[in-house]
Amino acid sequence: MHTNLIESLKNTVGTLFIKPKIDVSKISKHALEIILSLQKNNYEAYIVGGAIRDILIDQNPKDFDIATSATPEQIRKLFKKSRIIGRRFKLVHVLDGRNIIEVSTFRAKPQEREIMANGVERDNAYGTLKEDAERRDFTSNSIYFNPTNKKLIDFYGGIDDIKNKQLAIIGIPEIRFQEDPVRILRAIRFAAKLDLSINSDITSIIHKNINLLENIPYSRLFDEVMKLFLTGHALKSVILFNKFNLSKKFFPVLQSTNPSTQAFLKQGLRDTDKRIHESKSVNPGFLLAVFLWRDVNEAWEKRKKVSINNTVALNTAIDFVLSKQSKIFPVQKRFIVTMSEIWRLQPRFKNLNPKRIYRLLGHPRFRAAYDFLLLRNRQGEIDNDLAQWWIKFVEADDKTKSILIKKTKKNG
């Protein structure tokens, strides 16, 4: 075919790729079934977004987003176990046991800006596949895959950008970051995840617009910030976080220059990344406890001198640190309980009285507190004999456990 014709086709219908191939076995069966059923009913349907991006870099996607020409009501009618959610973005959750697949209708830029009663801009104008692609944030997130003919559709050169390790935003960067400042955090997350570099233009636009993050509703902001640290590339994210001066706004401790604090944080972040790469669960409360521990510990030491006992000193130190953090970027309540428990259990590891050992072992937060103790030990915060005793004890079977306890009784 004539090169010019290919070029003009690229401009009108986007680039149709047969290669690189997508490993369909990495796509959830449920997502494939949903696509098939939409297509059987004469709707267009594709997998788009994170899943395709992750398969292209040979990672296992964690969730699947489907884009279709069917409206939310039409999707809802096709799938018994589904519900329409969202107001700003109306989309459909199709359920399969505990798994949820997000199915959204192709969207276009809204014709007229419509602000709803809650101050959020409505964003429910439906459009074509091409318009849908244009509304997405980064080129790497705008790659569509049709599992029926195995073709990829990449209107904005996302595949090349991933290959060339460049983060590229669709449209005019200034406008796109202002339209939704959360894209700043997403830019950092994807740059860290895909090892993309952020060019100087985008860097300066991000710097210029960083204060717009202050207008984002707290819960959305909290979720996005936590995703930076809980999706397997926390260490790299922190480097970018500091580069854009974001630590100051969220967790000032992340920019600490104290070498021992830095080492402690790094270890916590590295462990979190490792757990995720091993497909183990991670507890956001644990990582947040790591973030704020050095502050708690310092405040605890100070209060020990003036409090009636250690426990009171620790509790007031915890209150102090959490209240300081809440003025900067409050931690969600549900994590505060976990964090405080992990911290409060730390001094209890020192007491090797048999009754107390078993009571501690039976505590619902024991495992997290024990992992936290090991982290502290690796940073030289704990008496190594004590830490080694706990490691032996935790790894032992019940019989050996009671022998170990008897021995401590004798020594004690």
CB of 362 to Mg ion, least distance (A): 38
Under the binding rule (CB under 5 A), the answer on residue 285 touching Mg ion is no
The closest of 106, 30, 104, 14 to 66, measured between CA atoms, is 104
Angle between helices 333-345 and 310-328 (to 10 degrees): 150
CB of 19 to ligand ATP, least distance (A): 21
User: Which position has the token pair 């456990």?
Assistant: 401
How many Å apart are CA 147 and CA 21, to the nearest integer?
A: 11
CB of 51 to ligand ATP, least distance (A): 7
- Closest residue to ligand ATP, judged by C-beta, is 50
Binder of ligand ATP out of 141, 272, 283, 346 (CB under 6 A): 141
C-alpha distance from residue 16 to each of 7, 106, 152, 155 (Å): 12, 18, 6, 8
Binder of ligand ATP out of 22, 43, 68, 136 (CB under 6 A): 136
Q: What is the DSSP letter of 122?
A: P
Nearer to Mg ion, 34 or 360 (CB): 34
Q: Tell me the number of residues near ligand ATP by CB under 6 A.
A: 11
Nearer to Mg ion, 63 or 131 (CB): 63
How many Å apart are CA 237 and CA 232, to the nearest integer?
A: 10
- Closest residue to Mg ion, judged by C-beta, is 50
Scan residues 288-347 and list those touching ligand ATP (CB under 6 A). Answer: none
The SS3 of residue 107 is strand
Binder of ligand ATP out of 38, 46, 49, 69 (CB under 6 A): 49
Q: Helices (H), strands (E): how many in the chain?
A: 20, 8
**Catalytic choice (54, 123, 132, 137):** 137
C-alpha distance from residue 301 to each of 177, 311, 318 (Å): 44, 11, 12
For the chain, the first-to-last Cα distance in angstroms comes to 86
**Catalytic choice (63, 96, 160, 180):** 63
Under the binding rule (CB under 5 A), the answer on residue 158 touching Mg ion is no
Beta strand 82-85 with 91-96: parallel, antiparallel or unpaired? Answer: antiparallel
Nearer to Mg ion, 101 or 382 (CB): 101
Cβ neighbours, 10 Å, residue 360: 19
C-alpha distance from residue 239 to each of 130, 295, 379 (Å): 35, 21, 21
| Region at 380 (left for phi over 0; alpha for psi -120 to 50; beta for the rest) | left
Under the binding rule (CB under 5 A), the answer on residue 268 touching Mg ion is no
CB of 344 to ligand ATP, least distance (A): 33
Residue-wise burial string across 120-153, b where 16 or more C-beta atoms lie within 10 A, e elsewhere = eeebbbbbebeebbbbbbbbbbbbbbbbeeeebb
For residue 371, indicate whether it is catalytic. no
For residue 65, indicate whether it is catalytic. yes
Binder of Mg ion out of 14, 50, 157, 158 (CB under 5 A): 50
Binder of ligand ATP out of 50, 157, 181, 284 (CB under 6 A): 50
Q: Tell me the number of residues near Mg ion by CB under 5 A.
A: 4
Under the binding rule (CB under 6 A), the answer on residue 63 touching ligand ATP is yes
Scan residues 63-82 and list those touching Mg ion (CB under 5 A). Answer: 63, 65
Scan residues 154-213 and list those touching ligand ATP (CB under 6 A). Answer: 180, 182-183
Under the binding rule (CB under 6 A), the answer on residue 137 touching ligand ATP is yes
Q: Which residues bind ligand ATP (CB under 6 A)?
A: 49-50, 63, 65, 136-137, 141-142, 180, 182-183
Q: Which residues bind Mg ion (CB under 5 A)?
A: 49-50, 63, 65
- Annotated catalytic sites, by residue? 63, 65, 137
